[in-house]
Structure 1
Amino acid sequence: MISSPYDKYRQSSVQTATPAQLLLMMYDGAIKFVRGALEGLTDSNYQNTNTFLNKAQTIMSELIVTLDYSFEVSKGLAAMYEYINHLLIQANIKKEAGPAEEALGYLVELRETWSQAAKMSAAAGSDIANG
């Protein structure tokens, strides 16, 4: 049972989001968790680091399994997601920031790319509807 207003809002946001918005939410979550893991590494709080990296890995796994392989780009994305997941595992095993920082850079770049693509798609849809 959802009790807090924030949880109700979050559930409603997910249920009413477009596929593009859901993808951006997943990237936002992964970015947030990797940043939390990096903070944990800085503070030598390895339990938090492990928790956050595991959450980011879960998101990466979800991104991999939800790819539509009928598109050629999906193969490249799958390889990229696998590599990011590998970096997160290495950061967790070695308790080193370098791999997590590299993963974070890729996640931020991918999120920005998808954000721009969503805006372009929405604008094209708007043009078609108005044209």
Structure 2
Amino acid sequence: MRGAAAYGRGAGAYARVGIESNVLSASPHQLIMMLFDGAQSGLRTARLHMQNGNVAEKGKAISRVLDIVNNGLQAALDLEKGGELAERLGSLYEYIARLLVQANLHNDEQRLDEASALLDNIGSAWREIGDQAKGG
């Protein structure tokens, strides 16, 4: 079992280095996309833990998503340059954060689904912007 545990630690360290390398070489647009991807991954994890009754892990997963929304996506908004669009996104991120807190408190998968759908819609718009920038 010692070999498997050592392998697991090594594989985890290798994955972290890969993620760090991706972050360091990413454009600002790519970093935002990574945040959306991370949020969706966290929501999937939270949903699984919610369905399995694992309260502590569900809470950790939702906390990670809240951190992404509040300290990643929300913090990245430039209200001066973004104007009304940035303000509206900020309000939407605040709403998503409230959905996540309520989902956690009440084990409410519908609220998780709503947060996921909203983040997916915004993330899709970011993807399109990136695709247009590459093509144009």
Q: Same fold (TM over 0.5)?
A: yes
Q: Aligned-pair distance for 1:25?
A: 0.2
The two structures have a TM-score, normalised by structure 2, of 0.86
Structure 2: runs of 5+ lacking an equivalent: 1-9
Partner of residue 110 from structure 2, selected from 59, 78, 98: 98
Richer in helix (by share): 2
Take 1:25 and 1:19, find their aligned partners in 2: how far apart are those partners? Answer: 10
Give the residue type in structure 2 aligned to 1:17.
A
The two structures have a TM-score, normalised by structure 1, of 0.89
Please state if 1:25 is matched with 2:34: yes
Q: For residue 65 of structure 1, what is the aligned residue in structure 2?
A: 75
Q: For residue 24 of structure 2, what is the aligned residue in structure 1?
A: 15
Q: Aligned-pair distance for 1:76?
A: 0.6
Give the residue type in structure 2 aligned to 1:52.
A
SS of the residue corresponding to residue 79 of structure 2 reads: coil
Take 2:53 and 2:61, find their aligned partners in 1: how far apart are those partners? Answer: 13
RMSD, matched Cα: 1.1
Structure 1: runs of 5+ lacking an equivalent: 125-131
